Amino acid sequence: MRPVRVAVLVSGGGTNLQMLLDALADSEVARVARVVSSDAAAGALERARRAGVPTTVLADPSDATQVIASLGDAGLVVLAGYLKQVPPAAVARFRLRLINIHPALLPAFGGPGMYGRRVHERVLASGAAISGATVHYVDEEYDRGPIIAQWPVPVRPGDTPETLAARVLDVEHRLLPLVVLELAKRGVPRAPVRLSAGGSAFVTGDDVALDFDWGG
Ligand code: GRF
């Protein structure tokens, strides 16, 4: 089976992109084929160039024709720190092949304007005892598409938005490549996939592997 060609949409520094580039570098099931940015100054572009992956900068991220053309023959499209809304026509073209990672446990703490530091500020203000990362399908509404996988992290006493963001980002870096590889292994099914945590997992920490029973 030809590796699934993965296109990654970015807007920022690209640490999630870097984890994908590293995890898929020698993969037989998926390859990062192109990186598309909403911002010419995004640090993620330099990471792509260092990895020899073609890049595109969108002149108008709200233009569906441009977005669809930039994604080309991608079999799977990943939003990794992408801050723009994907135009409806592009969502329709890549339905169930378009996924996003969000630094909170959706459906809470998501929606328009909910990105970066603001997400973690809201989690801390809510008094929640856990936060985490979510990978979900992208539809016509911000952060509302069917959830594929989630992994929690504890909110610790004395946490600041920065310390919580760092703990969540660590889990994002492990969760996103796992989900991409699993979807690719399955040929990117045209029906929503849900991946459930395995056994008595949900214990985080450096030595704990993210453990999923690949349901279904
Ligand atoms: C990450 O927390 C991601 O969930 C969010 O943007 C942050 C930046 O990620 N959407 P990256 O370093 O640009 O991948």
- Under the banding of pLDDT at 50, 70 and 90, the label for residue 216 is very low
122 φ, ψ to 5°?
Answer: -65, -40
Q: Which helix (H) or strand (E) holds 49?
A: helix 43-50
Residue in this structure with the two tokens 């969108």, named with its chain if needed: 58
Ligand 1 binding pocket mutation candidate from 17, 169, 173 (most atoms within 8 A of CB) = 169
Can you give the pTM of this predicted structure?
0.93
Instruction: Note whether 99 and 136 are within 8 A (CB).
Output: yes
Q: In this predicted structure, what is the pLDDT of residue 209?
A: 57
Residue with CA closest to ligand 1 atom 3: 81
Q: In this predicted structure, what is the pLDDT of residue 197?
A: 74
Instruction: Note whether 204 and 108 are within 8 A (CB).
Output: no
Query: In angstroms, rounded to a whole number, what is the distance separating the alpha carbons of residues 40 and 21?
Result: 19
Beta-bridge partner residues of 37: 10, 57
Query: In angstroms, rounded to a whole number, what is the distance separating the alpha carbons of residues 96 and 210?
Result: 23
What count of other Cβ atoms lies within 10 Å of the Cβ of residue 25?
10
Ligand 1 mean position to 1 CA, how many Å? 31
Residues with a known catalytic role = 102
Spell out a b/e string for 59-87, using b for 16 or more CB atoms within 10 Å of the CB, else e.
eebeebebbbebbeebbbbbbbbbebebb
DSSP 156: P
- pLDDT tens per residue, range 172-213: 999 999 999 999 999 999 999 998 877 655 554 445 556 666
**Pocket flag, ligand 1, residue 9 (CB < 6 Å):** no
Query: In angstroms, rounded to a whole number, what is the distance separating the alpha carbons of residues 199 and 210?
Result: 11
Instruction: Note whether 183 and 76 are within 8 A (CB).
Output: yes
Ligand 1 mean position to 211 CA, how many Å? 22
* Stretch 80-88: mean pLDDT: 97
Q: How many CA atoms lie within 13 A of 201 on its CB side?
A: 16
Phi-psi region of 144 (alpha: psi -120 to 50; beta: other; left: phi over 0): alpha
Q: In this predicted structure, what is the pLDDT of residue 1?
A: 77
Q: Rounded to the nearest 10 degrees, what angle do helices 43-50 and 15-24 cross at?
A: 20
- pLDDT tens per residue, range 4-27: 999 999 999 999 999 999 999 999
Residue with CA closest to ligand 1 atom 1: 81
Query: In angstroms, rounded to a whole number, what is the distance separating the alpha carbons of residues 111 and 107?
Result: 9
